[in-house]
Amino acid sequence: MTTTQETAPAPEREEIITGCDAVAQALRLLDVDVLAGYPIRPYDSVMTAVSKMIADGQMDAEFIVAESEHSQFEIGKHASLVGARAFIGSSGVGWMYGMEALVVTASLRLPVVALVGNRALDDPGAFGVEHNDAMMVRDTGWLLYWVESAQEALDTTLLAYRVAEDKRVMLPCALSMDGAFLTHSQHMVRVPVADTVSAFVPPYELGDRRFHPDNPVSIAPQFNEDWVMEARRQSDAGMRRARAVIAEATADFHRVFGRGPADPFVDSYRMEDAEYVLMGMGTVGMVGKVAVDRMRAAGKKVGFLRVKWFRPFPQPELRALLRGVKGVGVVDRDYSFGSNSHGGVLYTEVAAALYPEPRRPVLVPFIAGLGGREVSVDNLLEMEETVERATADGVADLTCQWIGVRGPDSDPRDVAATAEGGVR
Amino acid sequence: MAIPELVIPDLEINRRLTVLPMQEYYTSGHRTCQGCESALVMRYMAKIAGPRTLVTGTTGCMYVANTSYNSTPWALPWAHTQLGSAGSSAIGTAAALKVLMRKGKIPDERINVIAFCSDGGGGDMGLATLSAALQDTRYNLLILLYDNESYANTDIQASGMTPWGAVTSFTPSGTEQRITQHRWKKNVPALLMAGHPTGRYFANASSGFGMDLMDKVRIALDVGGPTFVQTHDPCPKGWDFDPRMSHELAILAVECGITVLWDCLEGELRYQGLTKQQVEGKVRRKPVADYLRRQGRFAHFTDEDVDFFQSRIDEMWEDWILPGVLRVNQTPFGRLPVDGSSPRQAGHAGAAVASGNGNGSGGAQIEAVGGNRA
Ligand SMILES: Cc1ncc(C[n+]2csc(CCOP(=O)(O)OP(=O)(O)O)c2C)c(N)n1
Ligand code: SF4
Ligand SMILES: [Mg+2]
């Protein structure tokens, strides 16, 4: 993504705030109309922040304390249908509890924006990050983004509304943020002013679907095989068009704010001449970059590739960036038990994305950092070694490696060997 | 058994409403069953609410049979909401209207917000959302629960508001178990009224008494919100009777004292029409057999079952603190029979005194039906 000519940067103030607070600041600047909250850690800090801003008169909005996530999401959906800019969010089992309402928000093509503070699903009742919660909407027509820093959280909230509300897209957007590692860790964030934000995000217009007495339409009537496929294809078309809209909005972000990401879809770090690449989503990117610096210092040609937009999935970028790379390690902070090579969701998507390439790199799936366990620089160094070894040995289908997990009995490599008749 | 002649009573039910608009806002285009009283309730509701109204409706007959793509009966703006979301759809809609008007994004005017649901979506699944809506005093909204006494649209399954003993797709009558709908119908309007001092208007109405029903919807909308109206609507398919008798059956339910016409405006309880006359002792309740014996869903009832049903209705009139509305008893309810055995008389005056739990109000105690109360 080339940066368009940058005019004088708009005035911004710098603050040290958490990921959740950064999203709250964006919501204030966006003049969001209706917000519905329900308590679950760790996303709920964003609701704590906005409710206080409303109480203090810094923001004019209706804040609704819902009686469940299902209601929370339905409230957001219906408010959006009336023409209000709406915000919701959740974590872990809360996101799952409201799944029905999430699905219809997407199929009704309503541009609600949500924050998912990624959290492990019960049981056990863990608080730590896992990406499975947000992943559950990946097939339903939600735009999905994983942020790495508080600044990116603020900026992407602006982008999310701009893209979701674009007439060519009209799909809801979920912003995923690693629980604790980002929701509650503080970063230096540049907070723009409201005028600049309204120059970047035009008012929300629902047009002829607006739910108002002046527009007596029936919304979401019942139909079956006679029309369902056409409706699904319209959602698909919106998602296909989203790529161009995201690129356009990111370019415009540079123009308005005088800063912004180099590439709308992926964050590539020292990828220029990389022979080996590690990939992941969310805060693992920060650790990954440190690990890459170390390996580069030791003379290795290694890069890190962070997937930002998961829906739409950046297939063209991945194909281009991984062309010529020898080996790739995909770090999943999620699981998809029983899937290809027993890897996680990101691995499966990356593998599928690269399939059309005539020459593909060796791809090694890793699962790490589940339930909020730290993924360390050493872990990433270990993964890179494994990728190099697999590449050298010509092992093209290494089954998924679990990193930083205790006990030989719980090691899937051993279990797989036993199942195939091998001795341990 | 000879079916007695139905007499439609000449009732004084027009408390205030005497003139109706000609306009209809729920018109042709639906494909509900013949004799569907819930469709009639929709028509009454829309007619009295008028054109400056937004309606949301949960999944169910009044969605699926009503709103087939390209043939909507709604001349009002209408939107589907999920089965358990009546209350949330009302809150979301009303909140959005309020903030958009405050910010000058849409003209400031009175717009009615009505969310309707049925016994399944509202009385069971979405009950918590009704509760939430009735707590939010910031918004003007009406929840209308059309009670057709089953999950009708999915082919008639028992809900928590299906009458005791009724046969449904999930509660058949079998050779071993004659009765499998063990639950006594829950009293949703009273439950909501009793627990939500923030609700400004609660009413129980019947599709058989259109003027009363429309009056209640009108009062609810005039009061603002949050408000709740429930209607009792015979469903020929679900209750198994000739569609010609729908309206009569609704009236009969009131005549038998099964459906009670009441409302509660800002904390003041009032009875209406025939119910009022029953409360005042001017009209005697008809035996519930007149009502039960006309419906296939009760065809398996023995005389004892009918007696049991009658005893419960009697209790509701003779024993409750607010007759037909609020069950704070002189005597405890006892247990419902759960093993298919014939129910014994229980609950109200005349029951044998046996092992009570000692904390019933008024000191009177009853024998628990089934005899195994611990
Ligand atoms: C979450 C969910 N569960 C189940 C269903 C299936 N379903 C569709 S309509 C319906 C019946 C609803 O009954 P009720 O609310 O009483 O409305 P009625 O059909 O009687 O009008 C059910 C169970 C659904 N649509 N959504
Ligand atoms: S099944 Fe009952 S509620 Fe449903 S359309 Fe038919 S009569 Fe009406
Ligand atoms: Mg029903």
pLDDT digits (tens, 9 = 90+) for B54-93: 999 999 999 988 888 888 999 999 999 999 999 999 999 9
Q: Does residue A1 belong to any structural domain of this protein? A: no
Choose among A63, A159, A144, A143: nearest CA to A110: A143
| A208 and A314 housed in the same domain | no
| A288 and A404 housed in the same domain | yes
Token pair belonging to A412: 């899937």
Q: Does residue B27 belong to any structural domain of this protein? A: no
Domain count, chain B: 2
Q: Is B56 helix (H, G, I), strand (E, B) or coil?
A: strand
pLDDT band at B335 (very low <50, low <70, confident <90, very high): low
Asked if A5 reaches chain B (Cβ–Cβ under 8 Å), the answer is: no
Residue matched to tokens 């319209």: A234
Atom of ligand 2 nearest to the CA of B39: 8
Domain count, chain A: 2
The minimum CA-CA distance between A15 and chain B, rounded to whole Å, is 29
Alpha-carbon torsion (A30, A33, A36, A39), positive or negative: positive
Q: Does residue A2 belong to any structural domain of this protein? A: no
Predicted-complex ipTM score: 0.93
- Angle (deg, nearest 10), helices A19-29 and A45-55: 40
A78 to B89: CB separation less than 8 angstroms, yes or no: yes
pLDDT digits (tens, 9 = 90+) for B160-199: 999 999 999 999 999 999 999 999 999 999 999 999 999 9
The CATH number assigned to the domain holding B213 equals: 3.40.50.970
| C-alpha span between B307 and A114 (Å, rounded) | 56
**Which of A62, A105, A109 would you mutate first to test chain B, the one with the most B CBs within 10 A?**
A62
Order across the sheet with A86-90: list the strands.
A62-65, A34-37, A86-90, A113-118, A173-178, A143-146, A309-311
pLDDT band at A7 (very low <50, low <70, confident <90, very high): low
Residues of chain B neighbouring A61 (CB-CB closer than 8 A) = 99
| B191 and B296 housed in the same domain | yes
B100 to A84: CB separation less than 8 angstroms, yes or no: yes
pLDDT digits (tens, 9 = 90+) for B110-155: 999 999 999 999 999 999 999 999 999 999 999 999 999 999 999 9
| B232 and B355 housed in the same domain | no
A83 to B106: CB separation less than 8 angstroms, yes or no: yes
pLDDT for A298 beyond 90: yes
| B113 and B220 housed in the same domain | yes
Pick from A223, A257, A291: which residue ends a domain? A257
Q: Which ligand is nearest to the CA of B37?
A: 2
**Nearest neighbour of A77 by CB, restricted to B52, B76, B92:** B92
| A244 and A274 housed in the same domain | no
pLDDT band at B95 (very low <50, low <70, confident <90, very high): very high
| C-alpha span between B356 and B346 (Å, rounded) | 12
Q: Does residue B151 belong to any structural domain of this protein? A: yes
Token pair belonging to B315: 């209790």
B96 to A78: CB separation less than 8 angstroms, yes or no: yes
| B362 and B293 housed in the same domain | no
Q: Which domain holds residue A302?
A: 266-419
Pick from A257, A278, A299: which residue ends a domain? A257
Q: Which domain holds residue B353?
A: 343-373
- When pLDDT is averaged across residues B90-106 and rounded to a whole number, the result is 98
| B175 and B282 housed in the same domain | yes
| A242 and A300 housed in the same domain | no
